[in-house]
Amino acid sequence: MAQSISTFRQGAQNKALLAFIILACIVITLYVNAVMGIDVVYTHLFYIPIILAGVWYHRKAVFIALFLGLSHVAIGYYLAGRIIPDTFIRAGIFIIVALVVGYLSEKRDKLYDSVRLLLESTDEGIYGVDGQGRCTLINRSALKMLGYSMEEVIGKNVHDLIHHTKRDGKPRIREECCVARTLATGVGYRDSDDVFWRKDGTTFPVEYSSNPVTVDSSVTGAVVTFIDISERKRAEEEIEEAKRQAELYIDLMGHDINNMNQMGIGYLELAMDRLKLSGEDRQYLLKPLEALYDSSRLIDTVRKLQLAKEGAVKREKVDACRILHEVISQYSHVPGRDVTIQFSPPGPCYVMADDLLKDVFSNIIGNAIKHSRGAVAVEAKVSHVLEGSQTLYRFDISDNGPGIPDDVKKKLFTRYQRGDFGAAGHGLGLYLVKALVDDFHGKVWVEDRVPGDYTKGCRFVVMLPALTSSPSSQSQAR
């Protein structure tokens, strides 16, 4: 509303000024021609209102030019008593000048309006400054965020208005400002976490950037864009608080609850040894003992997932074949189960990983044994695979268990995937496998041991990049 009133006042002032200049030109014409006897030079004054009318009113300036041209012809006829041909020529020139100036001004204003429309159509605050930091343009979004009117900003030093003080209340040195640095160096700068000051003295967090405006390789100003990041800051604080709460729960689960689990496991194992129970009575102790074992394993899995997500474990050169062989040795003798595991290590298989690689193989082999019935046969193989220019180790771990249906394979590695298909993949185990393998820049999937018949068992495939260069370069690549 204020802007429309200002535009109306400006239009009224332009009309009054134009009318005054036209009247002055006519008076000067009569005086110069009649009194001083000069009949050519005075017409140069007529170009002033014609050009102004062309700039302000575009092609409507033709009417002003026509009026002044006819006035010129009439004055010449009145003073000379005859028609002067030169006056018609000058009147024609007036009209041509009006058409040219009006056309060029109209094109310029249309271009200006299109640029202004772009500026006003964005939610980002945009303003421009000259070489001294004074505001030359500003869009509506910027004014709304800052609480100023256009008249209060145009021509003022923007740094003194909105960027004079830091978040902690200390004065901001002008040379530290991105805008000042852009004006000094001609290079664009960005600050992703700063504050601007509103007219009412309050602040709001912003991300802003400053880019130079150059003319003939000289910096003549800068254009600044900024956004209010209050919502982003609140979301970041909420995420940080949620992270702290999650870490608290994990610490609580990893220490206090796990300690209680271990105490319960100890007492149950002691009771089983001393009470010499058998049959159904022994099951009353085995069931809670297995539940406590599962609870401890779950806590351990969650802890390892946290370590993997945070990248808290240092990557180093490890022999994946040796780690797989150690895991197989642990599962070769399972009390009460007939387990056969075939594996012939081909030699060292160096990859960039950490100690958690052991959990990848342990989860796969452990699940194969746990979810199989009767005699369990597991076979592990290692081979080289070339994908493009990258060499990978392929670890195939097959079992003769009940297998995994195709519809379950697609979501097997998702969090908390459960089912009654009687195969591997319950809970977080395989989710941990996927998270760790991804962290090692590898791939993991499951397929049928016998293609097309999932009931014959499954094959887990783990692909890890072979370490063919120095560990330091691999670590940097990561």
DSSP state string for 109-169: HHHHHHHHHHHHT-SSEEEEEETTSBEEEE-HHHHHHHT--HHHHTTSBHHHHHSSB-TTS
Rounded mean pLDDT, 310-326: 86
Strand 376-387, strand 339-343: pairing: parallel
Q: What is the reported pLDDT for 262?
A: 81
Residue 156 has pLDDT above 50, yes or no: yes
111 or 32, greater pLDDT: 111
Residue 326 has pLDDT above 70, yes or no: yes
120 or 231, greater pLDDT: 231
Name the 3-class secondary structure at 191: strand
Residue 139 contacts residue 125 (beta carbons within 8 Å): yes
pLDDT digits (tens, 9 = 90+) for 419-465: 444 443 445 678 889 988 998 999 999 999 999 999 999 999 999 99
Residue 133 pLDDT class (50, 70, 90 cuts): very high
Residue 187 contacts residue 194 (beta carbons within 8 Å): no
Say how far residue 311 (Cα) sits from the centre of its chain: 22
Pick the closest to residue 76 from 65, 91, 64 (CA basis): 91
Report the share of the chain in percent with pLDDT over 70: 87
Residue 23 pLDDT class (50, 70, 90 cuts): confident
Residue 173, exposed/middle/buried by CB under 10 A (0-12, 13-18, 19+)?
exposed
CA dist list (Å): 403 to 169, 372, 406, 423 = 66, 9, 10, 6
Q: What is the reported pLDDT for 18?
A: 79
pLDDT digits (tens, 9 = 90+) for 178-231: 999 999 999 999 999 999 999 999 999 999 999 999 998 899 999 999 999 999
Residue 243 pLDDT class (50, 70, 90 cuts): confident
Query: To 10 degrees, the CA torsion angle through 144, 149, 154, 155?
Result: -120
Residue 218 contacts residue 197 (beta carbons within 8 Å): no
314-477 is classed in which CATH architecture?
A: 2-Layer Sandwich (3.30)
Q: What is the reported pLDDT for 421?
A: 45
Residue 476 pLDDT class (50, 70, 90 cuts): very low
Residue 297 has pLDDT above 80, yes or no: no
Pick the closest to residue 197 from 165, 242, 172 (CA basis): 165
Per the prediction, the chain carries an average pLDDT of 83
Q: What is the reported pLDDT for 45?
A: 76
Question: Cα–Cα distance between 229 and 207 in angstroms, integer?
Answer: 7
Sheet of strand 135-138, all strands in order from the earlier edge strand to the far edge: 135-138, 125-130, 218-228, 203-215, 189-197
Residue 477 has pLDDT above 60, yes or no: no
275 or 167, greater pLDDT: 167
138 or 57, greater pLDDT: 138
Residue 130 contacts residue 221 (beta carbons within 8 Å): yes
Longest dimension (CA), the chain: 143
> Which of 268-272, 299-303, 349-353 has the weakest average pLDDT?
299-303
* 125-228 to CATH, choices 2.40.110.10, 3.30.450.20, 3.30.70.20, 3.40.640.10: 3.30.450.20
59 or 135, greater pLDDT: 135
pLDDT digits (tens, 9 = 90+) for 248-288: 777 776 667 777 878 888 888 888 778 877 777 777 787 88
Residue 119 has pLDDT above 80, yes or no: no
Domain regions of the chain by residue span = 2-120, 125-228, 239-308, 314-477
Report the share of the chain in percent with pLDDT over 90: 37
Q: What is the reported pLDDT for 377?
A: 92
CA dist list (Å): 146 to 137, 199, 209, 224 = 14, 6, 16, 14
Q: What is the reported pLDDT for 2?
A: 44
CA dist list (Å): 412 to 113, 119, 434 = 58, 50, 10
> Which of 80-84, 150-154, 382-386, 414-418 has the weakest average pLDDT?
414-418
Residue 37 has pLDDT above 50, yes or no: yes
Residue 342 pLDDT class (50, 70, 90 cuts): very high
Question: Cα–Cα distance between 343 and 379 in angstroms, integer?
Answer: 6
Question: Cα–Cα distance between 178 and 38 in angstroms, integer?
Answer: 60
